Amino acid sequence: MARVDNEILFQQMNWRYACKKFDPNKVIREADWNILVETLHLAPSSYNLQPWKFIVVQNTELRKQLFDASWKQSPVTDASHFVVLTYKEKMDEAHIDRHVQQTSKIRNIEIANLAKMKEVAMRDLVIGPRSATIDFWAQRQCYIAMGSFLTTASLMEIDTLPMEGINAPEFDRILGLENSGYKTVAAIACGYRSPEDKYATAKKIRFDTADVIVYK
């Protein structure tokens, strides 16, 4: 038995839209935020390496600066919460060790028994040819977290705007990420739609199902 009715799921898929105008007076309740943010924390990633940090920008002054670095898109300052998705630029042994230690601790496994897991990840992502494009790999992992966040938010009737229309190097500078090993890839504004946002009632534009869902 599904936990959520198909009809409700479909309704919420259509309820969500890229919110262009947030109500600046509506704040996500702490209890709701604490659940929503778990979608980022619990997002799956390749090898479970979680090559990311999600920065929730609460400082008003920083939000103003980020607004200037986002072609002045109002959701950056008006939405209840603003999350910057950053990815780990390079995969390295220290990060993989950190994951090995966490696995050992949580599942009570001897580090020695995780050596194979470490070796496979090292060979693939740190030493192997994929290391040359590992930044793209890490960015893709961030988008999985983003998708999960957007979907869950829609089920909670929390509005979102996924944003690539940002000046990522400027974001890095404003957030003090230079030399941190992490870089901005995208952002998400979230909160509640303003009644003035005309996009809320605009019809969805998508290619026909048969053009994009192919059964073989």
Binding site for ligand FMN (CB under 6 A): 17-18, 20, 73, 161-165, 186, 204
Q: 125 or 175, CB closer to ligand FMN?
A: 175
Q: 59 or 201, CB closer to ligand FMN?
A: 201
Question: Least separation, in Å, of the C-beta of 45 and ligand FMN?
Answer: 17
Does residue 85 contact residue 64 with C-beta atoms inside 8 Å? Answer: no
| Chain centroid, CA 24 distance in Å | 22
Q: How far apart are CA 204 and CA 209, in angstroms?
A: 13
Q: 57 or 161, CB closer to ligand FMN?
A: 161
Question: Least separation, in Å, of the C-beta of 76 and ligand FMN?
Answer: 10
Partnered with residue 163 across adjacent β-strands are: 187
DSSP state of 125: I
Question: Least separation, in Å, of the C-beta of 161 and ligand FMN?
Answer: 6
Q: 17 or 47, CB closer to ligand FMN?
A: 17
Q: How far apart are CA 104 and CA 112, in angstroms?
A: 9
Question: Least separation, in Å, of the C-beta of 28 and ligand FMN?
Answer: 19
For residue 113, the SS3 value is: helix
